[in-house]
């Protein structure tokens, strides 16, 4: 029996097979959860095909910048899951490419608002919509995906770093508000994973190379790594953990900057996936 047998999960943010959210959905399915998805209308056909791979036909188009879309999505999820939701995954972020690249000081007011609305406020709106369904389930787990650029400068991440900082702070406040309902709220902060969206971030290839040659584990982070962590923090095995930002980065965060830029002795002697 899997760690999530009998649980229901709504995973927001799958766009393609390389999405971190897809790795999480696969892990949830492997551990027995029933999984539903939200996605952009433009990706619905693609996500529907992926959903079928984990035995799901529950795909709800949702523009998270629209409150009415969020309300419809959670109403549909509630009907599909008999009024009970145990797990919500928020893996949603957006900023225009020109707002990410270049200098942060050049960010526009519109770009700022858009990035924080879609990437951070949407977590609050979705948590609010999930609350009655999770309360009916006797509690639940909300997981948000973040990145180290929300707590430290990651050149080329810019306004998205600010959005992730807001997201992480929202996680802590939501954990405080929803704790009495038995709802836990945590963030997972993976190291660089080669998703389609990550390819637009400057210096991304260099970050992957540092993981291969400098990190304690001497390998990059995979979808499966993040999926396994998500299973743990969605399950009852983490029932006393809330308000946390959990690093899934192969230990890269433990190194000072100078160590993170110099290959370890013998690095590369062993092949890593």
Check whether 155 has a pLDDT greater than 90: no
Q: What percent of the chain has pLDDT over 70?
A: 86
Check whether 119 has a pLDDT greater than 50: yes
**Residues with active-site annotation:** 157, 164
User: Which pLDDT band, with edges at 50, 70 and 90, does 220 fall under?
Assistant: confident
pLDDT for the residue 194: 61
> Each residue of 90-117: b (16+ CB within 10 Å) or e?
bbbbbbeeebbeeebeebeeebeebbbe
In the chain, the domains with their CATH numbers are 8-194+220-251 (3.40.50.720)
Q: Tens digit of pLDDT for each residue in 67-96?
A: 999 999 999 999 999 999 999 999 999 999
Kindly give the pairing relationship between strand 34-39 and strand 245-248: unpaired
Check whether 102 has a pLDDT greater than 50: yes
Looking at per-residue pLDDT, the higher value among 267 and 180 belongs to 180
User: Which pLDDT band, with edges at 50, 70 and 90, does 267 fall under?
Assistant: low
| Gap between the Cα atoms of 80 and 76, Å rounded | 6
pLDDT for the residue 134: 99
pLDDT for the residue 62: 98
Check whether 259 has a pLDDT greater than 60: no
């Amino acid at each position: 029996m899997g760690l999530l047998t009998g649980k229901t999960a709504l995973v927001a943010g799958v766009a393609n097979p390389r999405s971190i959210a897809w790795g999480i959905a696969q892990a949830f399915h492997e551990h027995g959860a029933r999984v539903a998805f939200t996605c952009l209308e433009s990706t619905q056909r693609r996500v529907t095909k992926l959903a079928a791979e984990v035995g799901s036909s529950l795909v709800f188009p949702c523009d998270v910048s629209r409150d009415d879309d969020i309300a419809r999505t959670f109403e549909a999820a509630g009907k599909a899951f008999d009024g009970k939701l145990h797990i919500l995954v928020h893996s949603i972020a957006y900023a225009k490419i020109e707002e990410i690249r270049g200098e942060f000081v050049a960010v526009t007011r519109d770009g700022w608002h858009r990035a924080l609305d879609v990437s951070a406020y949407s977590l609050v709106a979705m948590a609010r919509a999930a609350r009655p369904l999770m309360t009916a389930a006797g509690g639940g787990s909300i997981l948000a995906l973040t990145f180290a650029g929300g707590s430290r400068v990651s050149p080329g991440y810019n306004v998205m770093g600010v959005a992730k900082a807001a997201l992480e702070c929202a996680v802590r406040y939501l954990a405080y508000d929803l704790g009495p309902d038995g709802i836990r709220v945590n963030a997972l902060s993976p190291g660089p994973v080669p998703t389609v969206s990550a390819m637009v971030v400057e210096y991304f290839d260099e970050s992957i190379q540092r993981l291969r040659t400098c990190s304690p584990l001497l390998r990059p982070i995979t979808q499966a790594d993040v999926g396994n962590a998500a299973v743990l923090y969605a399950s009852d095995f983490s029932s006393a953990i809330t308000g946390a930002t959990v690093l899934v980065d192969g230990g890269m965060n433990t190194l000072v900057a100078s160590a993170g830029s110099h290959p370890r002795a013998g690095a590369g002697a062993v092949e890593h996936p």
